[in-house]
Amino acid sequence: MFKKLLVANRGTIAIRIIRACRELGIPTIAIYSTADKDALHVRMADEAVCIGPAAAEDSYLNIPSIISTVLTYGADAVHPGYGFLSENGDFAEACLKSGVNFVGPRARHIRLMGDKPRARRIMTRAGVPVLPGSAGNGVTELRNAQEDAKRLGYPVLIKAAAGGGGKGMRVVRDAQELARLFPLARAESEAAFGSRTMYLEKYLERARHVEFQILADNQRNVIHLGERDCSIQRRHQKVLEEAPCPVMTKRLRDKMGKAAVRAAEVVGYSNVGTVEFLLADDGQFYFIEMNTRIQVEHGVTEMVTSIDLVKESIRVAGGAALGMKQRQVEIEGAAIECRVYAEDPDTHLPSPGVVSNHHAPGGLGVRVETALYDGYRVPVQYDPLIAKLIAHADDRGQVIARAKAALREYLIDGIRTNIPLHLKILDDPDFRKGDFATDFLKRYENVAEPPAATAAAR
């Protein structure tokens, strides 16, 4: 196993990784920006190194600075967490070139899946169902987009080839809208990803967003750990996720799971990953993209499978074989994750500030991952996700009741949070029936001016 692991992240995921390392007996190094000198991950790690100023580009995204810290402090492994450098092929390659283990897939797979039209092409060839869309490498010019849209039929969705998570995405319902929105989406993609390449997909309305957790070792063993329903999103920011998907059957899980495993197998994928599908109400499913990192919502899968995904990812990165076979994976009970954001519940604007009277809920089947403590100042520079409240129970009805009770117990002063929105969702009759799709949160939108785009969607 590793001698020392550098955690190239902050907040709740940095803490999650440090906890896994403690259990595995691996000492950790935290890195932090000047804005995070009082952060909990800094206090929890065995060593901590300030690597730069508050701006992420100068600290948590600064590859040379992180690599030199790795070498100076003698780490032999790096865990990137999610966001920041987690899906940066250059970072994975820089780690390899410095003789350090990157806890994640190989650079080749990060780059491959980061090129969405290429991923679609590979999946199509492998027999994984893919939505009708642009062929080849995608489109940069409006006239090519117009040709694709004509062939596909409206509505279509414009997506960024280098995107993922919804940035640069636009729904288009006719040719006029396409002419107006294509240049806007392309400009957004260029600003966010430095790429003018877009692609079109047939827009599937009222589908569910169902993603499969993949786990693979370096010996080509690949298994799936079942699915998560992530349909409840606001402006492509996930709000609440659950496992299993409320409409999943054993047969469909087996079929979608096999497709997800095949997606990983055809490219020789290793470590953790997520294969995202859209599930239509006729039971058809379509690959949309693959995420090559541990995800925020990994906790709901851990609760229903009793598998520690972070520990497994570290073990397999060290060369160990998978600790379990597909037939040993069982889905037990139901789990819900409520993402607690530091935001004004009415305007959705960020609500940074100093936290006081913090009391996180507890009890049987309640797990809270947070970097908050009394007196802590939530910095404005980073993602507003401040806590993940994960509930687990024997069935979906009971886990809804448990999540509601836990949310009502959560005390936090000094900042505003979206806890009131979670309580509304958990009381919503359609949510309680499991009858919802990607358009669900529209019903809780007020018509206020939308806030400026927030940190990277994941």
Residues lying near ligand MV4 in the complex (CB under 6 A) = 131, 157, 165-166, 201-204, 207, 209, 231, 233, 236, 276, 278, 288-289, 438
Q: C-alpha distances in angstroms, 125 versus 13, 140, 189, 263, 315?
A: 35, 24, 27, 10, 32
User: Cα separation of 171 and 207, whole Å?
Assistant: 14
Write the burial class of residue 427 (CB in 10 Å: 0-12 exposed, 13-18 middle, 19+ buried).
exposed
Q: How far apart are the first and last CA of the chain?
A: 29
**Residue entry with tokens 């250059």:** 90
Query: Which of the following is catalytic: 186, 253, 293, 458?
Result: 293
CB of 115 vs ligand MV4, minimal distance in Å: 15
Residues 6+ apart with CB under 8 A from 346: 446, 448
CB of 324 vs ligand MV4, minimal distance in Å: 28
The number of residues making up the chain comes to: 458
Nearer to ligand MV4, 42 or 232 (CB): 232
CB of 440 vs ligand MV4, minimal distance in Å: 8
User: Cα separation of 396 and 400, whole Å?
Assistant: 6
CB of 299 vs ligand MV4, minimal distance in Å: 19
Nearer to ligand MV4, 91 or 277 (CB): 277
Question: DSSP secondary structure string, 311-357?
Answer: HHHHHHHTTPPPSS-GGG----SEEEEEEEESB-TTT--B--EE-EE
CB of 301 vs ligand MV4, minimal distance in Å: 17
| Alpha helices (runs of H) in 361-418, residue ranges in sequence order | 396-409
Nearer to ligand MV4, 234 or 424 (CB): 234
Nearer to ligand MV4, 131 or 225 (CB): 131
Question: DSSP secondary structure string, 135-186?
Answer: -TT-B-SHHHHHHHHHHH-SSEEEEETT--TTTT-EEE-SHHHHHHHHHHHH
Nearer to ligand MV4, 16 or 167 (CB): 167
Residue facing ligand MV4 at closest CB distance: 438
Nearer to ligand MV4, 217 or 242 (CB): 242
CB of 82 vs ligand MV4, minimal distance in Å: 14
293 catalytic? Reply is: yes
Determine the distance from the C-alpha atom of residue 113 to the mean position of all C-alpha atoms in its chain, rounded to a whole number.
14
- Which sequence positions are flagged as catalytic? 293
